[in-house]
Each structure stands twice: as C-alpha cells, then as structure tokens.
Chain A
Amino acid sequence: GAGVSQSPRYKVAKRGQDVALRCDPISGHVSLFWYQQALGQGPEFLTYFQNEAQLDKSGLPSDRFFAERPEGSVSTLKIQRTQQEDSAVYLCASSLVGSGGLDEQYFGPGTRLTVT
C-alpha cells in the first residue's frame, strides 16, 4: 500500500522567498506530524494535527512557519521569508489513531530545503 509521500523532495530557495511543502499521509490516518531535521541531528517536532485540528504547534520556531490540514488529509507546511537557518530536511509522519493512542508513526521521505 502507499506510504506517506512528500513533495517536492528537494527545494532550493533564495533567502526571503516563501516555500510550501506538501505531505500526503497514509489514507485514513488521523494524526499527522511535521518534524525538522537539521544536518547530523535527530528530527525535532514542529506541529501536530488530529484530523483537521492543529492540536500542538509548540515546536514551530517562529511565526514565519505555518501549517494547515484543512480537510483532515493532505497537509502543507509553509515557511515565509526563508532564512539560511531554515535549511533542513522536513519530515512528515502520520499515525492511525489520535492523541493518547499507542501506535507508531510512519514517516515520509522528507523534503530537503536549502536556503541560499
């Protein structure tokens, strides 16, 4: 079956440009997460959706970062006025159950963002 897909896989942006990263979770998965992985480090939590509701956005580093999941399936992470420190791999993950359930998260391949 289809896993989590992300597009684009690679994105180069000039500093100051806006970017939009897309995530298609596994069909029927309730929970969707965005993580940021800097080079040589582990993924760091950005935000969490349960269906269309954004229940936790505590990891978003600044108000330049915005995420949405309007119909409870596809999600978009938008970064405005990109800066060099935004360069990272952005990972999306989905899981079947909602908050409080114990199931693993399935990760997409990530979008590698390079800000020049």
Chain B
Amino acid sequence: DQQVKQNSPSLSVQEGRISILNCDYTNSMFDYFLWYKKYPAEGPTFLISISSIKDKNEDGRFTVFLNKSAKHLSLHIVPSQPGDSAVYFCAARGVKAAGNKLTFGGGTRVLVKP
C-alpha cells in the first residue's frame, strides 16, 4: 500500500503564477516531511522540509503547509519560474522509527511555461 501519495502526476502553470503541489499520507507515525526536486539524469535535491509540530514553513519562493488532521501537505511555489520545471517528490520520515529512511510519493511533474 502506498503510504505517501501524490495524486497529480503532472501540473502545467504559467510563469509568474502559483504552483500548488499536493501530497497525502496514511501513516500516523510520520512526523517529518520533505520535498525534493529532480531534474532528468540527476538525483533528487532537497528543497524544503517541515516538522509535524509546525503547520507552515517558508523559504523564499517555497512554502510548505501541513494539515496533520487531514494527513495532507502541500508545496506552494510563487512566483513560478521556468527553472522550476522538474519532478517534485514528497517524502515522509518517522523519526521515532528505526532509521531515517524516507517514504516517497510517486512524484508530480511540473512544467512552467514562459
């Protein structure tokens, strides 16, 4: 069963507008969440994270929102730029569980049109 889901496989947005990426999880043991960005033929690179004790974390153009009761998080990119075109992965980690392995969603491909 997929514990982390990204239900939108792709997203197209105009340059300068907001991109909103969504992620749902089922495991209540997850308490740390991360977003990674991936370009073709490269490994994922860390973008932003949020602990379950917060409901919002902001870093420049990127903001992550966490709704624990709904087991839902979202990534907002504003304004979107052509260089943001990539695949974005949501990931979750259960800090209290053994190890720090990440459970990833299936990814959302974002295309920012100039």
Our count of residue pairs bridging A and B at CB distance below 8 angstroms stands at 66
> Given the complex, which residues of B lie within 8 Å of A107, measured CB to CB?
36, 43-45
With A31-B100, A99-B99, A102-B95 as known contacts, state yes or no: A42 contacts B106, CB within 8 Å. Answer: yes
Kindly supply a per-residue 1/0 record for chain A positions 13-39, scoring 1 wherever the CB is within 8 Å of any chain B CB and 0 otherwise: 000000000000000000101010000
Closest B residue to A112 by beta carbon equals B41
Q: Which of A59, A91, A108 contacts B101 (CB 8 A)?
A: A59
Cα separation A101 to B51 with both chains bound (whole Å): 12
Counting chain B CB atoms within 10 Å of each CB, the highest count among A31, A42, A91, A105 belongs to: A42
With A102-B32, A107-B43 as known contacts, state yes or no: A48 contacts B100, CB within 8 Å. Answer: yes
> Given the complex, which residues of A lie within 8 Å of B25, measured CB to CB?
none
Q: Name A40-58 residues within 8 Å CB distance of B.
A: 40-45, 48, 50, 55-56
> Given the complex, which residues of B lie within 8 Å of A93, measured CB to CB?
43
User: Which residues in A have some Cβ–Cβ distance to B below 8 Å?
Assistant: 4, 31, 33, 35, 40-45, 48, 50, 55-56, 59, 91, 93, 95, 99-102, 104-110
Q: Could you list 21 A-B pairs, sorted by A, with CB under 8 Å?
A: A4-B43, A31-B100, A35-B102, A40-B106, A40-B107, A42-B89, A42-B91, A42-B105, A42-B106, A42-B107, A43-B44, A43-B89, A45-B101, A45-B102, A48-B99, A55-B99, A56-B98, A99-B98, A105-B46, A107-B44, A107-B45
User: Which residues in B have some Cβ–Cβ distance to A below 8 Å?
Assistant: 4, 6, 32, 34, 36, 41-46, 49, 51, 89, 91, 95, 98-107
